Amino acid sequence: MRLRILSDLHVECFQEGHDVPDVAADVVILAGDIHRKTEGLSWAAERFAGQEIIYVPGNHEFYGTSMPDTRKALRADAKRLGIHLLDNDTVNIGGVRFHGTTLWTDFGLYTGQPDYDPLQTEPCSGPRVVISHHAPLPECIPPKYQGDSLSPAFASDLRALMGKMNLWVHGHVHEPVDLQVAGTRILANPGAYPKEYDPPLFVADRIVEV
């Protein structure tokens, strides 16, 4: 299965948006911070019309809003538009199980691994893909910010879950990530803000197969 990996497009910050070319994919994965509130869903439905879309909310979707109201609105709009909104949810597409969560951090990055499993890791026969906005491991944080006092706002330490999924897709860190940890591939392909990186680190046609 061909997965198109995108996050952190921050469409609201661009006059014309990112150049996102047409690419053949079975599923488009949008791992958060696409646009404000529910606008990312409308943008995705138009930009990727006719394709299977999985959308996981990021932190920016909730800025300046009531979180319960925005979550309700996201669910309603996703249903209307035919988009798979994964907000602590799971969907099976073509034999692949996708789990999605914003993965809000508990700011406990430096205090050890959490003793809970929020990602429904019951056995499944096919490939498993987890999609989060925030990062699942401190290694996903760009080197220049490793050990920073704000790093706990960007990542958790879910090392104990690695190996239970084939692929983990995340966003939020604004630099690309491609790691292998205990048999799980961890990927991020974030768009970032205008002129944040020159040349851009974002790969607009990024495809991964599972």
Contacts of range 14-21, beta carbons closer than 8 Å, 24 or more positions apart: 14/194, 17/43, 18/191, 18/202, 18/204, 19/204, 20/47, 20/204, 21/204, 21/205
- Please give the chain's pLDDT, 210 residues, in tens: 999 999 999 998 876 656 789 999 999 999 999 999 999 999 999 999 999 999 999 998 998 889 899 999 999 999 999 999 999 999 999 999 999 999 988 755 555 544 445 454 566 789 999 999 999 999 999 888 877 777 777 898 999 999 999 999 999 998 999 999 999 999 999 998 877 777 778 899 999 999
Q: Where are the domains of the chain?
A: 2-209
Q: Which fold has domain 2-209?
A: Purple Acid Phosphatase; chain A, domain 2 (3.60.21)
